[in-house]
Chain A
Amino acid sequence: MAELSLEFGAVSRTVERETVTSQAAQLSDEALLEAVARSDEAALAELYDRFGRIAYGLALRVLRDSALAEDAVQDAFLNVWRSAERFEAGRAKASTWVLTFVHRRAVDLVRREERRRTEPEEAAPEPAGPGADEDVERRSKREIVQDALRRLPPEQREAIELAYYGGYTQSELAERLGEPLGTIKSRMFTGLQRLRALLDEAGFEAAAP
């Protein structure tokens, strides 16, 4: 009896959710996170629809294993679900906030697995490539970022890629590249600043899609 009414409740919630989904689609990323903080499932679904592809691509690049990448994305979105109320729109962009969870979880897993293999010379894996289902705007963002990275001085690019996609810590990088820690830190700093200038020039904006 109790189970039956539970089932019924689930069905009516589904209907409700579909209506709400169309509303969630109208919200900015930030407003969406605020809705997630109010435990709005439709908002979480919309957030996933906006960032899931970037999140999975990133996790896959770091982890190079689809099962682990799925774990990382799932953990990250559940973390978003649990802690969205801590998001402060004034302090960070929603995209940064969400993607930091994904990146951190992926790096955490790769450090544990010790399967870091990203080499700067190595071409990025193209698991799906610019597939037919990738929309134009997303593809253009991807191309802008890849192009900006290519235009960085090689040592800066190397430090950034090994850290961000390889999951290496600054100390590991210093050891691996045989450079003082200070040099690594300043390559990261200068590299990120230059990257930001290049992205600005190209009109890149980190928001979904």
Chain B
Amino acid sequence: MSQEPHDLVAPYALGALDDEERVEFERHLADCADCRAQLAELEEASTALAYAESAAPPPALRERILEAARAENGKVVQFPRRRWLLPATAAAAAAAAVVAIGVGLWASSLSRDLDRERSANAGYARAFQLLGGGAEVTQLADAEGGLLVAPDGEAALVVCGLQLAPKDKTYEAWVIEGETPRPAGLFRGGGGCPPVLLERKVRPGTQVAVTLERKGGATRPTGSIVVRSEAV
């Protein structure tokens, strides 16, 4: 059954679209005044659903949030869109510096969570350590984010806004040495800018790329490249 974007207002209000549908609907929403009006009405009800529950959070949560916010010092962590900067090398270099600072700020806000041992945070923790150890930040060619490479070649790929991989698929990172792509780890994408620690060292002159592959990954890339770094 084909989906009329209009029909998606209610599922959208309830958060019942998958990542792909949501992005598509939000695109439609920007051009559809009727949909926005209808959404505003339905959101009165969907927001109310949140009020059906109420529970006292642990008292420490408040201070943790405020401290993390303070650490960011109000600076929005913004990764420049590489696309705009392709022609200008100087601008690209400046942008790289912004990414480095941006990632630093963002990592410092997360460093406070390091003691919490969440698997989700392990990637952030390591990415933070990489930065602390003088990792270089390389731009991505077609996404927001950056590639952090420590002097010893250990690397984390930070990609922002990559949609969650479909259930039967996975993202796979590759380190391209010369002409040869070598598998460097699988990840699911989605949710902000989660760092992915690469399972292979990244040497000068190599590039990192990401493709969408069948669940379980592949030994050679079969999908087209969704994200690619500049040469390291």
Which residues from chain A sit less than 8 Å from chain B, CB to CB? 38-39, 41, 44-45, 48-49, 52-58, 60-61, 66-67, 69-71, 73-75, 77-79, 81-83, 85, 91-93, 95-96, 99-100, 102-105, 107-108, 111-112, 124, 127-128, 131, 133-134, 138-139, 141-142, 144-146, 148-149, 160, 163-165, 167-171, 173, 180-182, 184-185, 188-189, 191-193, 195-196, 199, 204, 206
Which of B66-74, B93-101, B169-177, B196-204 interfaces with chain A? B66-74
CB <8 Å contact, A96 and B47: yes
Enumerate chain A residues within 8 angstroms of B57, measured Cβ to Cβ.
Answer: 52-53, 55-56, 69-70, 73
Question: Cβ of A127: which chain B residues have Cβ within 8 Å of it?
Answer: 55
Given contacts A49-B62, A56-B56, A139-B54, 19 further A-B contacts (CB under 8 A): A48-B65, A52-B62, A53-B56, A60-B53, A74-B61, A78-B68, A81-B74, A93-B47, A95-B47, A138-B54, A145-B49, A149-B49, A165-B49, A189-B7, A192-B14, A192-B42, A196-B48, A199-B48, A204-B51
B216 CB–A CB distance under 8 Å: no
Task: Please tell me the size bucket of the interface on B.
Answer: 35 or more
Q: Which residues of B contact A (CB under 8 A)?
A: 1, 3, 7-11, 13-18, 21, 36, 40-58, 61-62, 64-66, 68-70, 72-74, 76-77, 109, 118, 120, 164, 188, 190-192
Can you offer 16 A-B residue contacts whose CB atoms are under 8 A?
A48-B65, A53-B56, A93-B43, A112-B190, A128-B54, A142-B53, A145-B51, A160-B49, A165-B49, A169-B21, A182-B7, A189-B10, A192-B10, A196-B41, A196-B48, A199-B44
Q: Which of A44, A82, A146, A181 has the most CB of B within 10 A?
A: A82
- The secondary-structure label for the interface of chain B is helix
**Is the beta-carbon distance between A48 and B41 smaller than 8 angstroms?**
no
Q: Which residue of B lies closest to A184 (CB)?
A: B11
Checking B16, B55, B118 against A56 with a beta-carbon cut-off of 8 angstroms, the contacting residue is B55
Q: Give chain A nearest CB distance to B57 CB in angstroms.
A: 4
Chain A residue at smallest Cβ distance from B188: A112
The number of A-B residue pairs with CB atoms under 8 Å apart is: 199
Given the complex of chains A and B, what is the CA–CA distance between A194 and B69 in angstroms?
39
C-alpha spacing A193/B53, complex, angstroms: 21
User: Taking the nearest CB of chain B, how far is it from the CB of A124, in angstroms?
Assistant: 6
Q: How far is the CB of A131 from chain B (nearest CB, A)?
A: 7
